[in-house]
Amino acid sequence: MNDTTAVTRNERGSRNDATQRAEAAQRNGSALIPPVDVIEDSTGITLRADLPGVAKDKLTLHVESGTLTIEGEVGLALPENMEASYAEVSMPRFRRVFTLSKELDTDKVSAELKHGVLNLRIPKAEHAQPRRIDIKVS
């Protein structure tokens, strides 16, 4: 009897591992790509991303070694025992990675999330701001 218990536990243990791995793979692998608008003006770059259903605390913005990662988890108030019959948004996760260029000042990124739209502003570094160069006449 002890053996059986051990076997069951093992099986269950391995299944748990498998589901955990699957979940981790899903977390790392598949996510929806949110549509974005990117606008550049002389002082910086504005990025707007559609992240419907992502609450403020479920959104992660990550700037690391020249890449910007936007990651958000969709949280819907699903009623109990709801059966999905049709889905166009099939994954509850958004992710998109951008490569930033050197003249952008990643320390001064500001972000705002309103009605599921992320508004990100990345200013250009001081030295990259436009300036007029005087021409000296000799």
Partner 1 sequence: MFQSLFPRDVFAELDRLQREMRESFDLSPSIRGLGRGGFPALNVGGTPQSVEIFAFAPGLDPATVEVNLDRGVLSIAGERKPDLPADDGGKAAVHINERFSGRFRRVVSLSDDIDPNGVSADYRDGVLHITAKRRESARPRRIAVQ
Q: How many Cβ atoms from other residues are within 10 Å of residue 51's Cβ? A: 24
**Angle in degrees, CA 58, 71, 23, rounded to 5:** 85
Query: Residue 15: enclosing H or E segment and its boundaries?
Result: helix 2-28
Nearer to partner 1, 25 or 89 (CB): 89
Task: Point out which residues bind partner 1 (CB under 8 A).
Answer: 35-42, 48, 50-55, 75-89, 114-117
| Cα(8)–Cα(14) distance, integer angstroms | 10
Nearer to partner 1, 25 or 76 (CB): 76
Shortest distance in whole angstroms from residue 88 CB to partner 1? 4
| Cα(96)–Cα(71) distance, integer angstroms | 7
Shortest distance in whole angstroms from residue 53 CB to partner 1? 4
Shortest distance in whole angstroms from residue 8 CB to partner 1? 34
Nearer to partner 1, 65 or 85 (CB): 85
